[in-house]
Structure 1
Amino acid sequence: MEEQQQGFARTLSHRHVAMIALGGTIGTGLFLGAGSAIQKAGPAILLVYIITGLFVFAMMRALGELLVSDDSKPVFIDFMTQYLGEKAGFVLGWTYWIGWVVIAMTELTAIGTYMKFWFPGMDAWPFELGFLVVLYLLNVVAVKAFGEAEFWFSTIKIIAIVAMIATGLFLALGQVHTPLGKTEFSTLWSHGLIANHGKTLLTAFQMAFFSFLGVEFVGVTAAETKDPLQTIPKAVNSIVVRILIFYIGALSAIMIIQPWTNYEAGQSPFVQVFAGIGVQSAAALINFVVLTAAASAINSAFFTTGRMLYSLSGPKSRFGKLNHNQIPRAAINVSTLIVGLSVIVNYLYPTDAFNLISSTASAAFLIIYMSLMLTHVVYKKQVKKGLVEEAGFFKLPFAPYSNYLTIAFLALIFVLMLLNKGTMFTTILAIIWLIALTGVAYIKKK
């Protein structure tokens, strides 16, 4: 097949980019993990999400400023290579690539589990294979096909959240009696504002951060976006506000309908609250939404890993080439094959594979985000020296102080993960991965 190097096709619109970034951060962290977060923080979880969201917004503004300063770079890791050095770019690039690969592996494993809800007598692997093939085809046919698929995946999740918020408002405004009792706004705070006297509040920050994981995905779509100088700033400015509205709105509705003390960790609060008010089909509904969230994550992972491998390989490599549709198909092919190994991982570790691999990836993403803020600091220093041009119309407010505060916040979460027994092992694995890659980078340089 004819290959070409003239660059990516710019076919993603603002509608695609905004929903891609939004959909990438609304998933299992809300639909499944929020129950545990509520149990650890109580209504204070709302403040936790607001604080975390502000730091994520600072990171996104730094990313946006870098992207509009040079919209020719395929992925944001290229800025890290430019401003932090080739060895740092090598380590961070491969870390980001493997992070998305393992996320896709765990989500593919989860899809098999979700499908068994409707087909309990069947093996999981045929469903996993089927989703793998369909999502792969969406990514190699055309960039616009990927964008449309991600747009509708995100739409389904948002409809579910809006339905939750509307249900809470309707029941509270009408003070409707349900099997849980009379629904009132005061239910949100009448059972206390902080769980466990604040002893587990810090661990809730760790869980809130995981919910925002993937928001940087807009930085991977930059090279394939129509009018990136207009689209990227709009997406960056709107994405965090929308996420806060959806998270704060949904969690508030959940704790208004049912006292926060009633939720159990390890179960979807959406299922619990709908079941509590007598909607028996809640489990099937949420299972469908979470299935969509998993498919969305894999769809995004194929897009990201393909572009990352393309960027890391270089133009002389087979994986550093585009096909006639201006898509890095060879890079997507190898990423897909590796993701397909999740069936084997799931067979060997049927109970621990999902949590083990995904938490390892999450620890690695903390390093990526801290490095992104550091990259922006170096960029601003080079702007002052006149070495690079500044994107004057879109800047990170209060830099470099906002950079250092964000790095400190992310470092705190990383330390919390090291101190938490549930995430200590996987965090150490991520550190070992980074050390090993750094060694490879030095050997490769020599």
Structure 2
Amino acid sequence: MAVPPPTTDTRGLRRALTGPQLSMIGLGGAIGTGLFLGSALAISHAGPAIVVAYALCALVAFVIAWALTEMVVVHPEAGSFGAVAHRYLGPLAGFVQRWTYWTIQAIAVGGEIVAAGLYVRFWWPDLPLWPLVAAFSAVVLTANALAVRFFGAVEYWFAMVKVVAVAVFIALGLLLIAVGLPESPATGLSHLTAHGGFLPNGVSGLFLAMVFVLFSYLGTEVVAVTAAESENPGRDLPRAARRMVLRLVLFYVLAIAVIVTVAPWTVTAQGGSVDASPFVRVVAGAGVPAAATIINFVVLTAALSSANTNLYLSTRMLHSLAADGYAPAWTARVSRTGVPRNALALSALGPALAVALSATSGSAYLALFGVSVFGALLVWMLILATHWAFRRAATHRSPVRLWGAPVTSGLAALFLLAVLVSTAFIDGLDTAWRVGLPFFAALVVVHTVITRRRSRSTP
């Protein structure tokens, strides 16, 4: 197999994203609404040991992010890891990975936009949902349709709200634990061992929690997708990846530790509305008025940030597929400002479908969720497989190297495989195999058909 040379092919995209924007885009894509309102399901399985689950899954996310950075620094091209998979694993892998990633991100955009509408109804519960969904869809479509520098600026401030909110929560939470706050006495560490101990459901409960926790780190691959539009990928991508992963680990692990320390895990595991969020309890304990309103604003911003970033990701993947002849040719075109607006228009069909199904058919939306779960794990495993092939084939040494590879990447791949297998036996995730496997098989069939047509049309 010939060794592909380093590449800088942007397929018409503009290198306009700065280093600080890359860092914030990475954090914004990975810190979603699940941290603020979710995590209850994982806590119900692991109890206070959920901190261990977040720390272990953070290591897996770090391996994936660093393996990606090692590859895209050498190949900072349009299509990111999908294009690199095309080079080192073959056209089928690149086709499956990019179409799978486009699908899961398009579904995610729809889910986040619906969530944003629901968060607005926290203030005005009588408002119909569809006008809110339409308005937020227009916001993220506009942000993505303008020059990529504008998208970077919008996402920078969206993500900044989340980052500041988490940092303030951690600081106030540590004060509440250690010395107390004006409206609440110190909680101490007693909640970590009460109600059944630190590991109330044993090791099996901890592993089951990790299955759910792992999905909290989806989005760590965002920085790699921006490679083709980074001003200086060789300098900025490693910095952004390092900062993103370290801050992400710090924020997630510390925030979750605060959550299970300031309140009994049995209470947090029940979930509930914004008012029941541990974030509200900590902010209210500091004597801040309207704590629930503040947290709801933060969660609304988090949903819009995720939708904005996910739409960007799906658009760039579709543009890359079209450039390689695996999507309609017109979606490969870019505007005068370097934005693939045709790909953006087609990617908007994904959110529209997700929104429609979420409002009309619960079973259909569960099918979309199953594709997302199966697809996300498949994409991550293909990234690690590509890294293995990259290390074997590449003669151009990357300035960024994943420590301990291929052992570390192999262990991460085995963990992902174990999680994927376990989804078949977990209520709520079992749709991953029932829907995801046929979806994967359909992609293989479509690729085979396209390849045969190409071979017949070529003299």
Deviations 1:336-383 (A, max 9, x none): 13322334223312x566655334312211000000100111111113
> Structure 1 170/80 Cα, relative in aligned 2: closer, same or farther at 3 Å?
same
Instruction: State the percentage of identical aligned residues.
Output: 33
Residue type at the aligned position of 2:293: A
Query: Which 5+ residue runs of structure 1 have no aligned equivalent?
Result: none
Counterpart in 1 of 2:386? 375
Residue type at the aligned position of 1:374: A
Counterpart in 2 of 1:309? 318
The answer to whether the aligner puts 1:363 opposite 2:371 as a matched pair is no
CA RMSD of aligned residues (A): 2.2
Counterpart in 2 of 1:187? 191
**1 CA distance for matches of 2:20 and 2:94?**
30
Counterpart in 1 of 2:110? 105
The answer to whether the aligner puts 1:390 opposite 2:397 as a matched pair is yes
Say which SS state the counterpart of residue 277 (structure 2) adopts: helix
Residue type at the aligned position of 2:397: E
Query: Which 5+ residue runs of structure 2 have no aligned equivalent?
Result: 1-9, 453-459
Residue type at the aligned position of 2:50: I
Counterpart in 1 of 2:125? 120
Deviations 1:171-227 (A, max 9, x none): 223245866x64213433344211223442111111111100111011110110111
Aligned partner of 1:334 among 338, 346, 369: 346
CA positional deviation for 1:66: 0.5
Q: Give the alignment of 1:140-151 within 5 angstroms.
A: 140-151=145-156
Aligned partner of 2:162 among 157, 164, 168: 157
Q: Give the alignment of 1:30-109 within 5 angstroms.
A: 30-109=35-114
CA positional deviation for 1:129: 0.7
**1 CA distance for matches of 2:120 and 2:389?**
47
Say which SS state the counterpart of residue 77 (structure 2) adopts: coil
**2 CA distance for matches of 1:60 and 1:273?**
29
Deviations 1:227-253 (A, max 9, x none): 100111111222221111111111122
**2 CA distance for matches of 1:75 and 1:8?**
13
What TM-score do you get using the length of structure 2 for normalisation? 0.89
**1 CA distance for matches of 2:279 and 2:407?**
44
**1 CA distance for matches of 2:165 and 2:354?**
28
Aligned partner of 2:309 among 286, 294, 300: 300
Residue type at the aligned position of 2:100: T
Counterpart in 2 of 1:18? 23
Residue type at the aligned position of 2:187: T
Counterpart in 2 of 1:226? 231
**2 CA distance for matches of 1:74 and 1:440?**
19
Counterpart in 2 of 1:196? 201
Q: Which runs of 4+ in 1 moved over 4 A?
A: 175-179, 274-280, 351-356
Counterpart in 2 of 1:320? 332
**1 CA distance for matches of 2:278 and 2:331?**
48
What TM-score do you get using the length of structure 1 for normalisation? 0.91
Residue type at the aligned position of 2:373: S
Contact preservation (8 Å) 1:106, 1:358: no
Deviations 1:374-418 (A, max 9, x none): 0111111113xxxx4221x21111111112111101001111211
CA positional deviation for 1:441: 1.2
**2 CA distance for matches of 1:193 and 1:334?**
48
Say which SS state the counterpart of residue 172 (structure 1) adopts: helix
Contact preservation (8 Å) 1:319, 1:331: yes
Contact preservation (8 Å) 2:158, 2:305: yes
Deviations 1:145-188 (A, max 9, x none): 11111111111111221222122122223245866x64213433
Say which SS state the counterpart of residue 215 (structure 1) adopts: coil
Contact preservation (8 Å) 1:314, 1:320: yes
**1 CA distance for matches of 2:370 and 2:38?**
13
Q: What is the number of equivalent residue pairs in this alignment? A: 435
Contact preservation (8 Å) 2:177, 2:188: yes
> Structure 1 246/276 Cα, relative in aligned 2: closer, same or farther at 3 Å?
closer
